[in-house]
Amino acid sequence: MKTTTESFGVTKDGAKATLFTFTNDNGMSVSVTDFGANVVKICVPDKNGNIADVALGFDDVKGYETNENYLGALVGRYANRIGGAKFTLNGTTYEVDKTNGNNCLHGGFKPYGAMMHEYELNEDEDSAGVTFSRLSPGMEQGFPGNLDYSVTYTLTNDNEFIIEYFAVSDKDTILNLTNHTYFNLAGEASGSVYDHLVWIDSDSYTPTDAELIPTGVVAPVEGTPLDFRTEKPIGRDIDADHIDLKNAGGFDQNYALKTTPGDATLVATLKDPASGRKMEVYTDLPGIQFYAGNFLDTKNGKGGHDYGRREGVCFESQFFPNSCNIPAFPWKPLKADEEFNSITVYKFISE
């Protein structure tokens, strides 16, 4: 294993960002930055040994300061949508930022992916990585409780990119942390993902209204174009005549998973048939948002490339969207002094 550090530029506030790159014995590497704990690069060999960067992103920190599509971002304090941008906890109603119409999306106007983090490097014989951490003060983004949180990124010699989340608050709060990396297994500047094959081990999903807020129902995928229990190309059904696809402009749905807290289970796969690159997704969280980049519109990405609609896909492990307002969903507040731990793994193979 090899670890390197280099300058990643200076923010508009004068903070010096650092890029950390971890390279394993197979030639795979992952690069992350202390600005926002953003995932910057994931470089993976194909079936012929050719290495390509499969994560959409930017060449320096300036791109991540105006990262409207959340490329590679750590998302918190509460990922995905909060309906009406408010929630009630212990009898008190809290109002948070309306970042998406009348709703809150991905935490607030200044998300975790736009904040500097402290770091500590970790390395042993078969893995290397870094832990990013910070204190989110009470009422930051409108959420109660001083929240100490961290995210640990680890690359192993088994080509696993492991993300571990930890958090503890001094007051009851709500929490939903995720990562928003966009993947394109043909390479980050190679165009649409229509030919990528997807499998999701889920029998049901959470339908939404026109503002993409879950209705509270958990519906079967059986007989719908949202069914990925048998592997199929993204492009086959993405524009099918279905209300949830029309609401979201394509695939952007939360799938209910068959997971157990603390036990990372294989829940999804993504494959690019041309290169032979395949990614397996493991998590212990109850839901995953499969987002096919329907609203992706990012200028001046890596190498000056503009990322357009459906040029990358996200697999965002999570609690169900708006769980804080829907008691029937599998979620509970984070109690004061209670530790939160979760793990998500992206494992890369070629075949």
| Two tokens, residue 297 | 């519109």
Q: Which residues, at least 6 apart from 83, have a Cβ–Cβ distance to it below 8 Å?
A: 103, 211, 213, 322, 325
Q: 192: which residues sit within 8 A by CB, 6+ positions away? A: 235, 309, 310, 311
pLDDT at res. 340: 98
Q: Which residues are catalytic?
A: 180, 316
Confidence of residue 59 (pLDDT cuts 50, 70, 90): very high
DSSP code for 97: -
What does the alpha-carbon distance between residue 283 and residue 346 come to, in Å, rounded to a whole number? 9
Cβ(205)–Cβ(214) under 8 Å? Answer: no
pLDDT confidence bin for 214, thresholds 50/70/90 = very high
Contact 221, 87 (CB under 8 A): no
Both tokens assigned to 341:
């731990």
Nearest-10 Cα torsion for 62, 67, 68, 69: 150
**pLDDT tens for each residue of 281-318:** 999 999 999 999 999 999 999 999 999 999 999 999 99
Sketch the domain layout of the chain as residue ranges.
2-350
pLDDT tens per residue, range 318-339 = 999 999 999 999 999 999 999 9
Q: Identify the pLDDT of residue 141.
A: 96
* pLDDT tens figures, 72-129: 999 999 999 999 999 999 999 999 999 999 999 999 999 999 999 999 999 999 999 9
CATH of domain 2-350: 2.70.98.10
d(CA 279, CA 46): 11
The mean pLDDT of the chain is 98
Q: How many CB atoms lie within 10 A of CB 199?
A: 18
First to last CA, the chain: 23
Give the lowest-confidence range in 162-166, 259-263, 341-345: 259-263
pLDDT band at 341 (very low <50, low <70, confident <90, very high): very high
pLDDT digits (tens, 9 = 90+) for 132-176: 999 999 999 999 999 999 999 999 999 999 999 999 999 999 999
Q: Which of 104, 169, 211 is nearest to 337 (CA)?
A: 169
